[in-house]
Structure 1
Amino acid sequence: MRKYGLTIIAVICLAVLVFGHLHWKNISQAAGVEAREAAAKVKEEEKEEREALIQSLKPENNKQQPLIDYLHYKSLTQERVIVSLLGSNGTSGTGASNSSNSWVGRLEKSLRTDRDDLETLRFINHGHEGYSTEDLLKGKKIEAVIKDNPNLISAFLADVNIQFVKMIEGPHAHEVQKNITVHQSLERNDQVIEIADFQFSKFTEDPELAKRGGDQVYRNWLINSFNKSEKFYALSKDENGELNGFLLHSFLGNSCVIELIAVSQNVTKGGIGTSLFKAVENEAHQRGCGEIRVGTQVRNMGAINFYHKLGCRQVGCHQVHHLWNL
C-alpha cells in the first residue's frame, strides 16, 4: 500500500511540474506575442512618422524650401547625399589651422549640428588655390564635380579679383620709418586683430558663407599666421607706441606676397599704408626678391588707387566663384 501511495505522490508531482511548465510557457508566449505586437506597433508608428516627415520635406510640396530641408529630404530617401564644393583659397582651406577650421569644415559642422539625422551626408572638397572662371571651364575641374553626382549645384560670384605686381629692380633702398618694424614668427598680438576691418570680402559677400562664419575668416587668417616662421608682419606704431597699422606678407620663390594690410580707423593722417608697403619692399629687395605681388577686390577702388600710386601694375583679373552643392 505504501508503494502505491509513493507512486501516486510521484505522479501528482510530475503532473504539477508538467502543467506548471505548460502554464508558464503559455504565459511567456503570450508576453512574447504582446512584446512583438508592441514593437511592431512602435515600428509602424515610426514608419508613419518618417513618411509624414518625408512628405512634409518633399520639394514638390515646398517651392521655397530651405536648402537644409532639401538635404534632410535627400538624406531620408537616399543611401548617400553628396555635397561637392569647388572654389578658391577659402574652399581649399588656406589660412585654416586644420580642415575642421576651414569654412568647408565649419559648413559641415553647422549642417550636422542643425539636423542630427544627416548620416548619409558626405562632403567632397574640390578647392583649389587661385581658382578662377577659366580654371572652371578649361581646367576640367567641373568634370570632377560632375563625377561626384551631387544632388544640387549652385554657384555664387563671390569676387572679381585684381592682381598687381611691382618689379624690384636695380639699386633699391627706401628710408624705413623708425616707427615701423618687421617681425618673423610674431607672437599673438590682439592689437593687430582689433584694427583688422576689411570691408570688401568674398567671405561675407557670399550669403551662404556669411551665414556660416564668413566674417571670421580674416580674423582666423591673422590668428593662424602668428608664431609661424613663414609669416612676416610689418608693424607701424604712433608716437605713443600704439599700433596703428600692419602688413602681413610672406615669400614664395622670387616673390614677396602681400596677404593682408590694414590701418587703424582712428588714424587721421595718411601715409601709414605707404610707409608699410615701402618697408616691406625694402625688405624684399634685401632678400633678393624680384617682385611684389598683391591682389584686391574690383570694388575696392581705394586699394586699387593705392597700389597704382605705389608703382604697381595690373597683371591679371579673374572671377572667383563659390560653387555650392547643397
Structure 2
Amino acid sequence: MKNNLTKLKWDSNFFSKNIAELHITNGDELENPEFQSNHYDLIVTKQHQDLHIETQGFEETFKETKVIFSKYLNEIAHEISHEIFDTDCFPKEDKYFFQLAYESGKYSRFLLDPGFGETKFKELYNLWVINSLNKTFAVKTFFTMDENLGATGFVTVQKSGKTAKIGLIATHPLLQGKGIGTCLLQRAENYCIENGIGTMDIPTQEQNVGACNFYQKMGYAVQERIILKHFWKK
C-alpha cells in the first residue's frame, strides 16, 4: 500500500509533537516501511472497519469510535422552557465557560489518551471556547446560568452552507437530567430554522452512551461511524 500519511500541522504545533493522520480504506493493511521512516511521534488512523494494522516501531495506545449524528430540521420552532442567553446579546468572559468545556470533553481522546495529558487537554478546550466566542469556530454560543453556580450549560453552533454542527455542548454535572441540554439543543435548532439551515450534525463518541441516547431521543440518527486509533512511536 502506498503511504497516505498527512501531517497534521495544527496538532503538531499545538502539542509540540510530529503528528500525522492516515485514512485506511476497506481491505487495506498497513505494512509500509515509510510508516517508520517519517519520524512521526503519533499516527492517528481513521477507518470504517476495525482492520488489523501492522505498526512496527509504534504502539497502539487508544481506540475510539466517533459517531456523527444528523437530523433534518422541522421548520416549526421549539417552545423552550428554560431561559437561554445568547453571548452576542449577553457577553461573558471566555473563562466563564471553561469548566463546561471540560465536561463536554470528558470522553475526548485528547483526555483519555495519556500521551496528551490533562494539561494539554484543558489548554485545547480553553482555546476551543475562545475561538467559539470570537466566532473563529462558531457562529453562535447559547448558554444558561445560575446566580450561584454560574454557567449551567452551553452549546456552540458551527455552520457550513445549509448544514450546522454542534461543536461543544454540556450541562453542569449537578444539573444534568433537568432538561437544560434539551433546551440548549432546541435553541440551537431554532437558530438554524430561523436562518434557513436545514440539517444539524453532532459528533460524539460511541463510548459516551448517555450522549448517544440523548441525541437519539432528540430525533437524531447515526450518519457515520469512524474508528480512530492512536499509534505512538515506541
Name the TM-score, length of structure 1 as normaliser.
0.55
Secondary structure of 2:87's aligned partner? strand
The answer for unaligned runs of 5 or more in structure 1 is 1-85, 108-122
- Residue 198 of structure 2 corresponds to 290
Secondary structure of 1:289's aligned partner? coil
1:69-118, CA deviations, whole angstroms, 9 ceiling, x for partnerless residues? xxxxxxxxxxxxxxxxx689xx5537xxxx63x22x2x3xxxxxxxxxxx
| 1:93 and 2:10 correspond | yes
User: C-alpha displacement at 1:240, in angstroms?
Assistant: 6.7
User: C-alpha displacement at 1:316, in angstroms?
Assistant: 1.3
User: C-alpha displacement at 1:216, in angstroms?
Assistant: 3.7
| 1:195 and 2:100 correspond | yes
Alignment match of 1:252 (pick from 153, 160, 164): 160
Alignment match of 1:314 (pick from 190, 204, 222): 222
Superposition pairs of residues 52-131 of structure 1, within 5 angstroms: 91=8, 93=10, 100=13, 102-103=14-15, 105=16, 107=17, 123=18, 125-127=19-21
| 1:213 and 2:120 correspond | yes
CA distance in 2, matches of 1:163, 1:301: 13
CA distance in 2, matches of 1:297, 1:241: 27
* 1:181 aligned partner, one-letter code: F
Distance 1:324 1:251, change over 3 A: same
User: C-alpha displacement at 1:194, in angstroms?
Assistant: 2.4
Identity percentage of aligned residues: 25
CA distance in 2, matches of 1:200, 1:318: 15
Superposition pairs of residues 153-168 of structure 1, within 5 angstroms: 153-168=58-73
Distance 1:305 1:263, change over 3 A: same
User: C-alpha displacement at 1:260, in angstroms?
Assistant: 1.0
Alignment match of 1:204 (pick from 99, 111, 115): 111
Secondary structure of 2:193's aligned partner? helix
User: C-alpha displacement at 1:252, in angstroms?
Assistant: 1.1
Distance 1:319 1:182, change over 3 A: same
CA distance in 2, matches of 1:212, 1:191: 18
CA distance in 2, matches of 1:277, 1:298: 19
- Residue 60 of structure 1 corresponds to none
- Residue 131 of structure 2 corresponds to 224
Q: Between the two structures, name the one with larger relative contact order (CA 8 Å, sep ≥ 6).
A: 2
User: C-alpha displacement at 1:318, in angstroms?
Assistant: 1.2
* 1:201 aligned partner, one-letter code: S
The worse-fitting range, judged by mean Cα deviation, of 246-255 and 235-244 is 235-244
* 2:125 aligned partner, one-letter code: Y
Contact 2:82–2:180 (CA under 8 A) maintained in structure 1 = no
| 1:175 and 2:79 correspond | yes
Name the TM-score, length of structure 2 as normaliser.
0.73
Instruction: Kindly report structure 1 stretches of 4+ aligned residues shifted beyond 4 Å.
Output: 142-145, 184-187
User: C-alpha displacement at 1:268, in angstroms?
Assistant: 6.4
CA distance in 1, matches of 2:227, 2:143: 31
User: C-alpha displacement at 1:241, in angstroms?
Assistant: 8.9
Distance 1:193 1:215, change over 3 A: closer
* 1:281 aligned partner, one-letter code: E
* 2:77 aligned partner, one-letter code: A
Distance 1:312 1:268, change over 3 A: closer
Distance 1:290 1:143, change over 3 A: farther
User: C-alpha displacement at 1:218, in angstroms?
Assistant: 2.2
Higher helix share: 1
Alignment match of 1:261 (pick from 169, 193, 197): 169
Higher strand share: 2
CA distance in 1, matches of 2:118, 2:82: 42
The answer for unaligned runs of 5 or more in structure 2 is 40-56
